[in-house]
Amino acid sequence: MLPLNLLWLISQDSTLIQRFRGISETVINLVEDLDRSNGGTPEAIVIDPDGFEVDENVAIINKIREDEGPLPVVVFSDQTGRDLVSALLKVGIDGFIHKSDSGEDLRRSFEALVNGGTPLSPKVAKEVIDLAGNGGKKPLSNHKFKSTELEILNLLSEGKTKRDISAQFNISEHTIDNRIRRIYQKLEVTSLGAAMGKAFRLGIIS
């Protein structure tokens, strides 16, 4: 539930912290405040890739996860270049929010995140598909996925939570979890962000 207790922001833009004041009671920009012990463990991390090289963004995410564990990482950017998008999807981000999203859209994205969803702004989703394409790889055949698995993938891409999906299918969240794990296995990924990115790139969902 919002507001979060603690949100870490990684951004070269000192004014960006204001965008997240209503999302979390405490927002710490690690670029300005390097004492990560301040305030405890965050419930989510937002990274703004502007001003960092692609490999720096990946290194930052990997370092934080190595130190703090599997914390949700959301990208907040209007950059959708092929190299950046590909690198972030591979590292397994948990959401990608466009900087032009309204305050209400931003709030909905974080509500989806805390409820187990993967926030993906429509503007970003279209650009990810257009720019990333399928990377020259042979697409996975949709026949490898059951119809319910494809429906679940599409619902997740719309930002629906596991709770939303279980209610729509009238089955338990535990069953939804099992089906999502099977989707991961078929896509050969280990996170929801990576699953969404690969499914978009391969044209399994649109």
Name all domains of the chain by residue range, CATH numbers in brackets: 4-132 (3.40.50.2300), 142-201 (1.10.10.10)
In this predicted structure, what is the pLDDT of residue 136?
45
In this predicted structure, what is the pLDDT of residue 65?
79
* All residues at 6 or more sequence positions from 162 whose CB lies less than 8 Å from its CB, including other chains: 115, 116, 117, 173, 176, 177, 180
Contact 193, 93 (CB under 8 A): yes
Q: What is the largest CA-CA distance in the chain?
A: 50
* All residues at 6 or more sequence positions from 106 whose CB lies less than 8 Å from its CB, including other chains: 19, 20, 23, 97
In this predicted structure, what is the pLDDT of residue 171?
92
In this predicted structure, what is the pLDDT of residue 46?
93
In this predicted structure, what is the pLDDT of residue 24?
92
Contact 152, 205 (CB under 8 A): no
The Cα 138–Cα 96 span in angstroms is 25
pTM for the model stands at: 0.67
CA R_g for the chain: 17
Contact 87, 58 (CB under 8 A): yes
Low-confidence ranges of the chain (pLDDT < 50): 132, 134-138
Contact 48, 11 (CB under 8 A): yes
